[in-house]
Amino acid sequence: MAANDPADTLAGRALPHLGRAPGISAGRGLDWFNLFVANIQTGFGPFVAVYLTTQGWTQTRIGLALSLGTISAMASQVPAGALVDVIHSKAAVAFFSILAFTASALFFALWPTPLFVYLAEALHGFSSCTLGPAIAAMSLMIAGRRALGLRLGRNARFAAIGNALGAALMGACGYYFSNRSVFFLTAALTLVALVPLMPLARLYESSRPEARQRPGPARRGNMIRVLTNRALLSYALLAMLFTLGNAAMLPLAGNVVTKRAAGEGVLLIAAGIVLPQLVAAALSPALGQLAEARGRRLVLFLGFCTLPIRAALFAYVTDPALIILVQALDGIAGASIGIIGPLVTADVAAESGHYNLALGFVGLAIGIGATFSTGLAGWAADGFGSETAFLAMAAVGLAATALVWAVMPETRPR
Amino acid sequence: MNARSRHLPHRLRPATAAALLTFWTLPFGALAHGALAQSGVDTAPSAAETRMPEPSYLEPLNANESTGVLGSKVVGPNGDDFGLITDVIVDRDGRPRAAVIDFGGFLGVGSRKVAVDWNLLQFDPSQRDHKAVLALGRREIQGAPEYRADAASAAMVGPPAVGASTGADGGK
């Protein structure tokens, strides 16, 4: 299978403008970088609320801090994408984003006071939006258009492994040491993440200058053309719908597990976080290959299909252990979205000089979906019970899946 | 611009560096404003206090006899970890009625907020880790309805013996 050794083959043709073949290490570097970034992001998730609670924060203030992070991330998606577009060294962007994570983690660990926590949230929201596009852009530089699907499949595999390891590592750290130690660990991991970034520093976007040398008005017209592209708009809408039905699913399912689990629900919920990542790690390369061989639409459809199935099963499955098994389906969806998003965006915008802007636009759509998901699902679960909430999510997922077939054009280059 | 970048292929161009710096320091600027406003609020009363004579009605709060409870760890009778106290519910007279406990979950996923009768909690302020011991088993809080601060009525888990009737009265 080509999926077993694509780093070398991908990287071999990767960087013709560099003369030598340092691409092998660049490909491997990107593998590890994906792993560590996913690792780092674990601590900044819902765990922040737990940590701040142990620091004597009131729930209102915690809500404020989390909202600030969300708003910061949403507001900076598109501007951050535009910024990454004009910076030639994407490794520099990644470097500074990781340093911002270091600062955020240290702020949390050392000074859990409002000022520094708000700062950390804003900083983290900001730099997440520069880091994601930078990774996608480096992938494009390493693999080129033709093999990007395979490269993104690898990215998704290593990110999934990073997520799984992160959850296990941070969970153990919080349990055996202290909640505060989780952020010290995160800060330490950010410094480790800078190591695989070193071979990537040689990636330099000087080989495709034609798009950049266009004068201002033409460039702007180009940008409008990218952002009004049917494939990109369709994908953004679909990803938003999917996230609307998906984002609140794990919290809600976890809530049900906590309520029904016989012994400690903690281990079951940990399994519910780790298991989908293992599924994603196993399937990602194959999905990337499928996207290159059979098209983006098919892979997207496969991923989306699992959402209505999973939501409907959640509505009727009551055994906590079975709930965790159903949650494993999330791995397929997560992998396919993680691969197809940057891939379709590259199909539309890779040559335009606005790749990262377009990624930011898609990221904003997903962020909107996630924000409304938690609110709507919480409201439905409170008012009508969790079964109804799950069925509503299944309906949204079904609509999204049908729309993939109806509106999403195939963007695979021939 | 492009010619220049070709001369400095592996370094951050000055314009790029400036853009990056501005971008990553923006939140500091935005928040510094809030911080100043906040510190102004915080320091004003303390400055006033230093000028005023010490109030005569000061009572000692011995650290070994009293403790804050927000964020305290809650454990069961046999020491297993239940969660954290996130809020204290008081009645008209300010007497504590219930504690809201964030129960279960892993890394913040799947936890549920449950209100329990304040009298079921025991505190030992002389202990360094400020744990609260809850006189209930895991089973008894697990099935309790989720506590919502904004709900019209909420229920708290009462003592085991009368728990059933308390739950029925307090529910909707």
Query: Per residue in A99-114, is it b (16+ CB within 10 Å) or e — as a string?
Result: bbbbbbbbbbbeebeb
Q: Which two tokens stand for residue A310?
A: 């999973």
Interchain proximity A258–B148, CB inside 8 Å: no
Say which residues have a Cβ less than 8 Å from residue A315's Cβ, sequence separation at least 6. A386, A387, A388, A390, A391, A394
Residue type, A255: N
Per residue in B60-107, pLDDT (tens digit) is 888 778 888 888 889 888 888 888 899 898 889 999 988 999 887 888
Mean pLDDT (10-residue bins), chain A, 414 residues: 41 42 69 91 87 87 88 91 87 92 94 91 92 91 85 92 92 86 92 87 59 57 81 92 90 84 79 92 92 89 93 87 88 92 88 88 92 86 84 92 87 80
The pLDDT of residue A118:
92
* ipTM reported for the complex surpasses 0.85: no
Per residue in B131-161, pLDDT (tens digit) is 888 888 887 888 788 888 776 667 788 776 6
Interchain proximity A50–B111, CB inside 8 Å: yes
Judge whether residue B11 has pLDDT over 60: no
Per residue in B39-62, pLDDT (tens digit) is 444 444 555 555 677 777 888 888
Interchain proximity A382–B24, CB inside 8 Å: no
Interchain proximity B20–A257, CB inside 8 Å: no
Contacts with A72 from chain B: Cβ below 8 Å: 27
Which member of B68, B73, B107 has the closest CB to residue A170? B107
The pLDDT of residue A218:
63
Contacts with A266 from chain B: Cβ below 8 Å: 104-106
**Between A341 and B110, the higher pLDDT residue:** A341
Looking from the CA of A192 toward its CB, the CA atoms found within 13 Å total: 14
Q: Name B106's bridge partners.
A: B109
A·B CB contacts under 8 A: 147
Crossing angle of helices A265-293 and A296-316, rounded to 10°: 160
Q: Tell me the pLDDT band of B31, cut-offs 50, 70 and 90.
A: low
Interchain proximity A115–B38, CB inside 8 Å: yes
CB distance from B2 to chain A under 8 Å? yes
Nearest-Cα residue of chain B relative to residue A86: B16
Distance from CA of A349 to the nearest CA of B (A): 21
Say which residues have a Cβ less than 8 Å from residue B37's Cβ, sequence separation at least 6. none
DSSP 8-state secondary structure symbol assigned to residue A412: -
Q: Name B123's bridge partners.
A: B132
What is the average per-residue pLDDT within B161-169? 45
Interface of B with A in 74-93 (CB under 8 A): 80, 84, 86-87
Looking from the CA of A371 toward its CB, the CA atoms found within 13 Å total: 16
Separation of alpha carbons B21 and A126, rounded Å: 13
The pLDDT of residue A120:
93
Kindly list the distances between the CA atom of residue A98 and the CA atoms of A37, A65, A103, A130, in Å, as whole numbers in the listed order. 8, 21, 9, 10
Are A31 and A153 a contacting pair, CB within 8 Å? no
The closest alpha carbon to A302, from A408, A144, A155, belongs to A408
**Between B62 and B30, the higher pLDDT residue:** B62
The 3-class secondary structure across chain B, one letter per residue, is CHHHHHHCCCCCCHHHHHHHHHHHHHHHHHHHHHHHHHHHHHHHHHHHHHHCCCCCCCCCCCCCCCCCCCCCEEECCCCCEEEEEEEEEECCCCCEEEEEEEECCECCECCEEEEEEHHHEEECCCCCCCCEEECCCHHHHHCCCCCCCCCCCCCEECCCCCHHHHHHHHCC
Interchain proximity A83–B23, CB inside 8 Å: yes
**Between A348 and B167, the higher pLDDT residue:** A348
Interface of B with A in 15-44 (CB under 8 A): 16, 19-20, 23-24, 26-28, 30-31, 34-35, 38
Separation of alpha carbons B155 and B146, rounded Å: 9
Say which residues have a Cβ less than 8 Å from residue B92's Cβ, sequence separation at least 6. none
Q: Are strands B156-157 and B112-117 parallel, antiparallel or unpaired?
A: parallel
Nearest-Cα residue of chain A relative to residue B87: A58
Residue type, A173: C
